[in-house]
């Protein structure tokens, strides 16, 4: 069974020593002093370890089943869901007007990280609900908000997002689901959606589906698409549940991981739906929440990696094989614990330096989202829009790689189902695919985000990195960080120049390098985070912090990332500079 203990200490470090949240000018942050966030994180950590983690294996082994048109979740999920509701965990950052607690999104992310680490599949039921809540909150009429939000805040009713169809995933312009206007102002929705997470289950009284469909008069492609609220049970005027809508679960997908989450084929057969937001502006309505939704998936990437890393550390300290080549460490045993071996250390350092860097990067992203919402801060909005594909694509690719690396620490045992490592690897894999496959994230970054607002945001990012390095000029201890970061940032700028010089002549020259660019930028972002974390750790030590092991460990882990991971930037740049030729050399028939 997987054991998991939330790393609240590191979260507190990021919140208070890196982001300095209680000194921030973001409304709502003034309440986030150390004691307050510690109380919230400790309580959430307890739920993660005691309620969610014990159900992770159960969910994986049992999965969901479809019986007579009804989806049943694994044993224990219902009780755990009630516990989440009772604890108020579903309402943390929701609007108090609808029963939410009005806390910053950043705090919701910190708590969400623990819940995902403990049980990713389970947490998706409330995660999807939160996405649907945000869409209705942003685009709904007053009546829609009053009807749905109070119940969605408490998760008495859960939510889904229905985009994908059998013949259309990335290219949503191919969508066939239709919405026919009815005399009473509603629409009749007809079509089939596939891969719908949390599409149906036995955890809530109602499921509020948000469905993209084509209404007449909108034209071809995504322009004609609108967004609709389609509840499983219609809601009466007094708020009680009415008749069942004409929608059903066609089948449950058999899949590689997240078995505890019901991935449904949804059939809409003239189901009653109501327009959400403007007619023919459905893509815009759905994607208003894109920064949050994609940050949430990036978070899944490193949160599962954190759980896998914790298992790997415990195993490496316990498993004995071979001897330390520099001298026996456990003479009372026939062999030393494998953590003595440099190659095992390498794996653990890769894992630790990624997870901690990713946590800082994601929390910083969540902080930018809070800034952009609460202060209407256009700079923060531009920056998070630029970072979003990097958070999603880089953190989920590396999260999966990290889970595999943690599995490797177990040798053959990690490949069996006796240990939780196989599940972590299988669960982590989906985050690279959904919410826009990672190749599409890279296209978004290079094809859209770099040039957004005349390239203003990427230039601001380069300036930010430069200023960060300069601010440490007088601190010799920071040189390993700033030298590596300056170099990597220069490589990123060179790659950007290559796209500018070659992309217009031949778009494939840019598109062939987009994936490498996303990874190059991911490394620069984590390098920036490690530079800032190292400075915060030095400062704590200078000020006489008692927990020297934590801060010295932080600095050493950061040095590892700069020395051992940032050199990947040179490789990514070299690949980018080869342009399209090596990638496009073969004809289709030569494959």
Ligand X SMILES: Cc1cc2nc3c(=O)[nH]c(=O)nc-3n(C[C@H](O)[C@H](O)[C@H](O)COP(=O)(O)OP(=O)(O)OC[C@H]3O[C@@H](n4cnc5c(N)ncnc54)[C@H](O)[C@@H]3O)c2cc1C
In the complex with ligand X, which residue's Cβ is closer, 103 or 163? 163
Instruction: Assess 163 for contact with ligand X (CB under 6 A).
Output: yes
Is residue 110 within 8 A of residue 363, CB to CB? The reply is yes
Binding track over 165-184 against ligand X, x by CB under 6 A: ----xx--------------
Helices and strands of the chain, counted as H and E runs: 20, 11
4 versus 434: smaller Cβ distance to ligand X: 434
Instruction: Specify the residue, 369 or 443, whose C-beta has the smaller distance to ligand X.
Output: 443
Q: CB of residue 224 vs ligand X: minimum separation in angstroms? A: 17
CB-nearer residue toward ligand X: 197 or 385: 197
DSSP line for 75-128: TTHHHHHHHHHHTTTTSTTS-GGGT-----HHHHHHHHHHHHHH-HHHHHHHHH
Cα 505 to Cα 92, 119, 516, distances in angstroms: 50, 48, 20
Rounded Cα–Cα distance for residues 37 and 212 (Å): 38
Least separation, in Å, of the C-beta of 494 and ligand X?
24
| Residue 71 contacts ligand X per CB under 6 A | no
**To the nearest whole angstrom, how small is the minimum distance from the Cβ of residue 518 to ligand X?**
12
Task: Compute the least distance from the CB of residue 135 to ligand X, in Å.
Answer: 13
Report helix, strand or coil for 371.
helix
Nearer to ligand X, 270 or 439 (CB): 439
User: From the CB of 121, what's the least distance to ligand X, in Å?
Assistant: 10
Angle value at C-alpha 224, between 221 and 226, nearest 5 degrees: 125
Minimum separation from the CB atom of position 87 to ligand X (A): 25
State the residue number with the nearest CB to ligand X: 169
Compute the least distance from the CB of residue 463 to ligand X, in Å: 31
Q: Are 229 and 194 in contact (CB under 8 A)?
A: no
Which residue in 118, 121, 161, 262 binds ligand X (CB under 6 A)? Answer: 161
Q: Which stretch binds ligand X (CB under 6 A): 161-169, 313-321, 374-382, 581-589?
A: 161-169
Q: From 157-165, 202-210, 356-364, 524-532, give the range in contact with ligand X by CB under 6 A.
A: 157-165
Q: Which stretch binds ligand X (CB under 6 A): 90-98, 106-114, 189-197, 559-567?
A: 189-197
Cβ distance 221 to 238 under 8 Å? Answer: no
221 is a site residue for ligand X (CB under 6 A): no
b/e map 284-314, b = 16+ CB within 10 Å: ebbeebbbbbbbbbbbbbbbbbbbbbbbbee
Distance, CA of 492 to CA of 521 (rounded, Å): 7
Cα distance between the two ends of the chain: 44
Q: In whole angstroms, how close is the CB of 161 to ligand X at the nearest point?
A: 5
User: Shortest Cβ distance from residue 227 to ligand X (Å)?
Assistant: 12
Residue 437 makes contact with ligand X by CB under 6 A? yes
Cβ 214 to ligand X, closest distance in Å?
15
When asked if residue 195 is in the footprint of ligand X (CB under 6 A), the reply is: yes
Considering only CA atoms, give the Rg of the chain.
24
The reply to whether 263 sits near ligand X by the rule CB under 6 A is yes
Q: Distance between CA atoms of 391 and 396, rounded to whole angstroms?
A: 8
User: Under rule CB under 6 A, which residues in 95-124 are in contact with ligand X?
Assistant: none
Q: Point out which span in 163-171, 213-221, 342-350, 490-498 binds ligand X (CB under 6 A).
A: 163-171
Q: Rounded to 5 degrees, what are φ and ψ at 272?
A: -75, 125
The reply to whether 310 sits near ligand X by the rule CB under 6 A is: no
Calpha distance 506→11 (Å, rounded): 45
Whichever of 41 and 194 has its CB closer to ligand X, that residue is: 194
CB closer to ligand X out of 430 and 528:
430
Q: Is the dihedral of CA 379, 382, 385, 391 positive or negative?
A: negative
Contact status: 517 vs ligand X (CB under 6 A): no
d(Cα 16, Cα 30) in Å, to the nearest integer?
Answer: 12
Using the rule CB under 6 A, is 279 a contact of ligand X? no
Asked if 518 touches ligand X (CB under 6 A), the answer is no
One residue of 6, 32, 103, 443 binding ligand X per CB under 6 A: 443
Nearer Cβ to ligand X (260/382): 260
Please confirm, yes or no, whether 38 is among the known catalytic residues: no
Considering only residues 24-43, where is the footprint of ligand X by CB under 6 A?
none
Q: Which of 62, 435, 463, 468 is catalytic?
A: 435
Q: Go through 412-445 and write b for each residue having 16 or more CB atoms within 10 A of its CB, e for each that does not.
A: eebeeeebbbbbbbbbbbbbbebbbebbbbbbbb
Which DSSP string do the residues of 187-236 spell out, in sequence order? EEEEEEEEEEET-S-SSSSEEEEEEEEEPTTS-SGGGGEEEEEEESEEE-
User: Which one, of 461, 292, 450, 433, lies nearest residue 362 by Cα?
Assistant: 292
**What is the greatest pairwise CA distance in the chain?**
83
- The verdict on 192 binding ligand X (CB under 6 A) reads no
Relative to beta strand 70-72, strand 65-67 is antiparallel
Query: Is 157 near ligand X (CB under 6 A)?
Result: no
Single out the segment in contact with ligand X by CB under 6 A; choices: 232-240, 330-338, 439-447, 575-583: 439-447
Cα–Cα distances in angstroms (integers) from residue 494 to residues 149, 206, 293, 569, in the given order: 48, 52, 30, 11
- Tell me, residue by residue from 414 to 433, as one string, x for binding to ligand X by CB under 6 A and - for no binding: ----------------x--x
With tokens 């690719």, the residue in question is: 397
Question: Which residue number, 263 or 362, has a Cβ lying nearer to ligand X?
Answer: 263
Which is closer to ligand X, CB of 277 or CB of 436?
A: 436
Residue numbers annotated as active site:
435
- Contact residues toward ligand X (CB under 6 A) are 161-164, 169-170, 195-197, 255, 263, 430, 433-434, 436-437, 439-440, 443
């Amino acid at each position: 069974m997987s054991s998991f203990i939330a790393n609240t200490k590191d979260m507190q470090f990021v919140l208070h020593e890196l982001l300095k949240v209680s000194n921030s000018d973001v409304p709502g942050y003034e309440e986030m002093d150390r004691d307050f966030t510690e109380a919230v994180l400790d309580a959430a950590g307890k739920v993660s370890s005691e309620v969610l983690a014990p159900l992770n294996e159960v969910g994986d082994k049992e999965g969901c089943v479809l019986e007579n048109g009804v989806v049943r979740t694994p044993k224990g999920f219902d009780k755990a869901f009630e516990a989440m509701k009772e604890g108020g965990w579903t309402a943390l950052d929701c609007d108090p007007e609808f029963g939410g607690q009005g806390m910053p999104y950043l705090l919701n992310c910190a708590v969400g990280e623990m819940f995902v680490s403990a049980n990713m599949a389970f947490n998706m039921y409330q995660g999807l609900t939160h996405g649907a809540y945000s869409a209705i909150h942003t685009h709904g009429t007053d009546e829609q908000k009053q009807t749905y939000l109070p119940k969605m805040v408490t998760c008495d009713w859960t939510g889904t997002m229905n985009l994908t169809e059998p013949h259309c995933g990335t290219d949503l312009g191919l969508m066939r689901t239709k919405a026919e206007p009815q005399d009473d102002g509603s629409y009749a929705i007809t079509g089939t959606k596939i891969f719908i997470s949390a599409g149906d289950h036995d955890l809530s009284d109602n499921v509020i589906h948000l469905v993209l469909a084509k209404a007449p008069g909108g034209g071809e492609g995504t322009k004609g698409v609108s967004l609709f609220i389609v509840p499983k049970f219609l809601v009466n005027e007094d708020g009680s549940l009415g008749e069942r809508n004409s929608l059903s679960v066609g089948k449950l997908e058999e899949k590689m991981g997240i078995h505890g989450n019901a991935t449904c084929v949804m059939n809409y057969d003239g189901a009653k739906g109501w327009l959400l937001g403007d007619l023919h502006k459905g893509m815009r309505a759905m994607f208003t929440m894109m920064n949050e939704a994609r940050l949430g998936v990036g978070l899944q990437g490193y949160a599962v990696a954190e759980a896998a890393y914790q298992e790997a550390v415990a195993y490496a300290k316990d498993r004995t094989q071979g001897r330390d080549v520099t001298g026996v460490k456990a003479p009372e045993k026939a062999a030393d614990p494998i953590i003595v071996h440099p190659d095992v250390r390498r794996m653990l350092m890769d894992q630790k330096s990624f997870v901690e860097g990713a946590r800082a990067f994601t929390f910083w992203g969540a902080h930018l989202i809070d800034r952009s919402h609460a202060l209407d801060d256009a700079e923060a909005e531009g920056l998070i829009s630029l970072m979003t594909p990097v958070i999603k694509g880089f953190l989920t690719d590396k999260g999966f790689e990290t889970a595999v690396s943690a599995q490797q620490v177990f040798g053959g045992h990690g490949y069996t189902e006796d240990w939780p490592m196989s599940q972590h690897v299988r669960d982590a894999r989906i985050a690279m695919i959904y919410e826009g496959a990672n190749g599409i994230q890279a296209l978004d970054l290079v094809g859209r985000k770099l040039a957004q607002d005349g390239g203003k945001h990427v230039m601001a990012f380069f300036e930010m990195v430069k200023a960060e390095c300069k601010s440490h000029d007088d601190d010799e201890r920071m040189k390993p960080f700033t030298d590596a970061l300056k170099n990597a940032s220069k490589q990123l700028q060179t790659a950007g120049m290559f796209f500018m010089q070659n992309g217009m002549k031949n778009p494939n020259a840019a598109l062939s390098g987009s994936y490498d660019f996303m990874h190059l930028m991911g490394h620069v972002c984590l390098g920036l985070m490690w530079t800032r974390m190292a400075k915060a750790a030095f400062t704590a030590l200078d000020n006489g912090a008692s927990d020297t092991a934590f801060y010295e460990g932080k600095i050493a882990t950061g040095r590892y990332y700069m020395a051992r991971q940032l050199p990947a930037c040179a490789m990514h740049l070299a690949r980018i500079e080869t342009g399209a030729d090596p990638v496009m050399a073969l004809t289709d028939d030569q494959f």
